[in-house]
Structure 1
Amino acid sequence: MRLYLASSFIFPRSLQLRLFAVCFVGTHLPLAAFLVWAAATGRLDVLGAIVVIAATVLGMLIAVGGIYALLAPIDLAARALNDADDGEIAQVPQLSGGDLAARLLAGVNRAAGATAERMRKLSREANVDVLTGVLNRRGLLQQLDTLSEQETTGAVALVDMDHFKLVNDLLGHETGDRVLQDFAKVLAGTVRHTDLVARWGGEEFLVYFRGATEAQAQSVLMRIAERIRNEPLAHLGERPVTFSAGTTAASRGTLDEALRRADSALYEAKHRGRARILSNAELSC
């Protein structure tokens, strides 16, 4: 580092030329001393000196080209690191052998692989609910943002576990967490792979039924309700844990309004006694 810092005033923007300058001085100092001595003592052969100087110039050009070529892998690694986009490092060509350049490029590729995996992990953690393994609110909205308006036309359902506070209070938070996990598995395992399931908050889930009608969405939720009646997730006294849901038609462009309608339907379902699925159209009934 000392020589690097000491030589930084020479070609500060080019390591290649700085290396050449150091090598040039080191190798040509004896030649310069010999020419000065020969001239001072009258032993200088002019023709011989011209040949030597011409050969020196040619060697200098070869050295410059060679230095640039040999340092190309280092320049490539530096560009890959400096051009990292949002923390993602581009892969660089792998070199055989174990010299400095090969080790450097191998290190860049290892860093690129580790960074890519870390970014994927962070993306998953940012978009997936840690407890249940389904999407979180951010993940669902991000998924919808990648789709066109036509692709996201369908139905939305807000689903809420009934009396969930009692599950935690009477059965314990560990049981409450297990109930949420099991319910998320039932939801995700029953809907189509094109539908989106997200934990919307607390014990509330959102299901986006892509391309489905509200009636189809209700039919799926009824099957899920029947399943957890036959295979209860937990019991509160003699009663199995149930859920209520509100459904409505939706599209990506009208999601906020659809959520308000679904939330109103869910609230009414709770008000009418829970353990029921109510559509927005039924609110006036």
Structure 2
Amino acid sequence: MQFYLATSFIFPRSLRLRIFAICFLATHLPLIGYCVWGLSTGRIALFEFVLLTLATVLGTALALFGIGALLDPIHALAAALNPKEEDGAPLPEVGDVIQTLYAGVHRAATATRAQMEDLSIAALEDPLTGIANRRGFLEQVQALPAHQRKGCLAIVDIDFFKQVNDRLGHDEGDRVLCAFADRLSSQIRRADMVARWGGEEFAILFHECIEDEADWTLARLAARMREEPIGTVDGHPITFSAGLCCWNDEDIEAALHSADEALYEAKRSGRDRTCRAASVAGQEVGS
């Protein structure tokens, strides 16, 4: 690398010409040495001079041919890595082959990194609704600082969603899921988190929120679903049921399980309502 940098002043924008100059000088050293010796001693023989000159020219030609053959794969790789404009014409030369290769490798690494980031985002995002999926939701919750790991968790389920698919078709079902995801996202605070939990179920973290406030938010959302429905089945607006559970940095899976149990209690109680995990536990104890 030091030799490469030290000779960069020789044809700085062309590695081929730089190699040619170095090879030409190196292969002609014997001829130059013979000429200097002959001039200093006056003993130059014409036959020896011609023979040495021919050997030098032949050696130079062989060296250049071999170097050119060795550089061809490098140029091919540089051309493959070098981007092209929309009309197919190559972009202006970056410099010599080494610079072109470096620029190409850098572009390839940047493109690969961008693709990996896209894949990482896709792994945490629900492709239909565009909000977080279950994995993305859990990672966001786990990433919270210890002093902020509290609030209320809700599991929300669209009521009678199977009827939407069966009677109106899966395209309408997908539209309803997207519309419901948008409705949830628009009704929660920026500090809260929402995700598609699976199927027609969604999860919400009301961040650093008391249970009454989270319950009121869900009640307001339920009222809007009736007044401005995202869809209807048999003339009735599409509604939702929800289970709510307080969370204060304990096991997130346990809290979500409690919210899920409260959701099933809301379904058993007639749907289109929210049940709290604490009230469900109280019913189980008293039963």
Q: Deviations over 1:16-75 (max 9, x none)?
A: 59x999976642332224435766998299xxxxxxxxxxxxxxxxxxxxxxxxxxxxxx
1:135 matched to 2:132? The reply is: yes
- TM-aligned CA deviation for residue 156 of structure 1: 0.3
- TM-aligned CA deviation for residue 104 of structure 1: 4.4
Could you say what the CA RMSD is over the residues aligned between the two structures, in angstroms?
Answer: 3.4
- Quick check: 191-200 or 122-131, which moved more? 122-131
Instruction: Give the structure 1 partner of residue 29 of structure 2.
Output: 31
Query: Any stretches of 5+ residues in structure 2 without a counterpart?
Result: 6-14, 44-91
Which letter does structure 2 place at the counterpart of 1:29? T
Instruction: Give the structure 2 partner of residue 63 of structure 1.
Output: none
1:183 matched to 2:161? The reply is: no
1:223-234 alignment runs, 5 A limit: 223-234=220-231
Contact 1:144 1:252 in 2 (8 A): no
1:182 aligns to what SS in structure 2? Answer: helix
- Quick check: 24-33 or 157-166, which moved more? 24-33
2:216 aligns to what SS in structure 1? Answer: helix
Structure 1 Cα separation of the partners of residues 29 and 117 of structure 2: 59
Q: Deviations over 1:158-194 (max 9, x none)?
A: 0001111111001111111111111111100000011
1:158-177 alignment runs, 5 A limit: 158-177=155-174
Q: Of the candidates 208, 214, 217, which is equivalent to residue 217 of structure 1?
A: 214
Task: Assess, with a 3 A threshold, how the Cα gap between structure 1 residues 38 and 103 changes in structure 2: closer, same or farther.
Answer: closer
Which letter does structure 2 place at the counterpart of 1:27? L
- TM-aligned CA deviation for residue 116 of structure 1: 4.3
Task: Assess, with a 3 A threshold, how the Cα gap between structure 1 residues 212 and 105 changes in structure 2: closer, same or farther.
Answer: same
- TM-aligned CA deviation for residue 151 of structure 1: 1.7
- TM-aligned CA deviation for residue 106 of structure 1: 4.5
1:147 matched to 2:144? The reply is: yes
Structure 2 Cα separation of the partners of residues 154 and 257 of structure 1: 14
Task: Assess, with a 3 A threshold, how the Cα gap between structure 1 residues 199 and 42 changes in structure 2: closer, same or farther.
Answer: same
Aligned residues: 225
Q: Deviations over 1:170-228 (max 9, x none)?
A: 11111111111111111000000110000000000000111011221111111110000
- TM-aligned CA deviation for residue 235 of structure 1: 1.7
Q: Deviations over 1:213-255 (max 9, x none)?
A: 1221111111110000101122221322111100101145420
2:230 aligns to what SS in structure 1? Answer: coil
- TM-aligned CA deviation for residue 111 of structure 1: 3.5
Task: Assess, with a 3 A threshold, how the Cα gap between structure 1 residues 15 and 214 changes in structure 2: closer, same or farther.
Answer: farther
- Percent identity between matched residues is 40
1:150 aligns to what SS in structure 2? Answer: helix
Instruction: Give the structure 1 partner of residue 118 of structure 2.
Output: 121
1:99 matched to 2:95? The reply is: yes
Structure 1 Cα separation of the partners of residues 42 and 263 of structure 2: 104
2:146 aligns to what SS in structure 1? Answer: coil
Structure 2 Cα separation of the partners of residues 142 and 14 of structure 1: 48
Q: Of the candidates 261, 278, 282, which is equivalent to residue 279 of structure 2?
A: 282
Instruction: Give the structure 1 partner of residue 195 of structure 2.
Output: 198
Structure 1 Cα separation of the partners of residues 31 and 252 of structure 2: 84
2:28 aligns to what SS in structure 1? Answer: helix
Q: TM-score, normalised by structure 2?
A: 0.68
Instruction: Give the structure 1 partner of residue 245 of structure 2.
Output: 248
Q: TM-score, normalised by structure 1?
A: 0.68
Task: Assess, with a 3 A threshold, how the Cα gap between structure 1 residues 106 and 232 changes in structure 2: closer, same or farther.
Answer: same
Which letter does structure 2 place at the counterpart of 1:99? G
Task: Assess, with a 3 A threshold, how the Cα gap between structure 1 residues 175 and 34 changes in structure 2: closer, same or farther.
Answer: closer
Which letter does structure 1 place at the counterpart of 2:232? H
